[in-house]
């Protein structure tokens, strides 16, 4: 079929409709692409926000678990008399109790005044002071094993933390007139450590 210029008026309406259809189709494609891109970006944003919320929730959960762990550790230290005021009477009573349990001839002690340890730190979070109370112990023993047993029992039963610095043993060369008399004199040095909060005026 051949068309001439005479046929244009007859198909003008058809051409106009075809042109409009093409234009509308092109616009629809562009709009659809933009909507798809926007939807994809919205999904990416939503996924990122969800992931961040999950990480934040997990971090909060971990922080709560850490705080609970720190609280239990703190409570244990308080119960062991490591945090808080020193318990001199408790230490002395524990030493006397161990002496009786182990049948040690005698235990003499000298507990010096408490002193603050200089930890040499400028950290603003350092809100606590370490304190130390030096103690000298003189023990009259039947044999060396009693000293080892005494130290083990003190570590097990004493509520508090101490550092054993030294023990010097001297054999008693005096003539034994009785069967059960001290054979060894032990002189030990140790330090009781406590931790408590600084005074507000000293911070």
Are the C-beta atoms of residues 114 and 96 closer than 8 Å to each other?
no
> In which element (H, E) is residue 55 found?
helix 8-79
pLDDT tens series, the chain, 203 aa: 555 555 556 566 666 676 767 666 666 555 555 666 777 777 788 788 888 877 777 777 676 666 665 556 666 666 666 677 788 999 999 999 999 999 999 999 999 998 888 765 554 445 678 889 999 999 999 999 999 999 999 999 988 888 999 999 999 876 555 567 889 999 999 999 888 766 544 43
d(Cα 133, Cα 129) in Å, to the nearest integer? Answer: 13
Could you please state the CATH topology (level 3) that the domain comprising 88-118+128-202 is classified under.
Answer: Alpha-Beta Plaits (3.30.70)
């Amino acid at each position: 079929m051949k068309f001439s210029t005479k046929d244009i008026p007859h198909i003008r309406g058809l051409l106009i409709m075809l042109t409009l259809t093409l234009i509308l189709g092109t616009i629809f494609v562009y709009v659809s692409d933009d909507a798809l891109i926007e939807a994809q970006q919205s999904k990416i944003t939503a996924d990122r926000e969800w992931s961040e919320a999950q990480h934040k929730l997990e971090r909060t959960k971990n922080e709560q678990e850490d705080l609970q762990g720190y609280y239990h550790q703190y409570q244990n230290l308080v119960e062991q008399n490591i945090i808080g005021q020193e318990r001199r009477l408790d230490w002395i009573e524990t030493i006397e109790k161990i002496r009786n349990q182990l049948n040690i001839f005698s235990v003499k002690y000298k507990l010096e005044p408490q002193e603050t340890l200089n930890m040499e730190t400028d950290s603003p979070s350092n809100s606590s002071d370490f304190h130390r109370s030096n103690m000298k112990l003189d023990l009259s023993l039947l044999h060396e094993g009693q000293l080892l047993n005494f130290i083990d029992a003190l570590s097990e039963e004493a509520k508090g933390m101490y550092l054993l610095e030294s023990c010097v043993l001297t054999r008693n060369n005096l003539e034994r007139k009785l069967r059960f008399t001290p054979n060894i004199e032990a002189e030990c040095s140790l330090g009781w450590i406590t931790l408590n909060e600084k005074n507000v005026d000293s911070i």
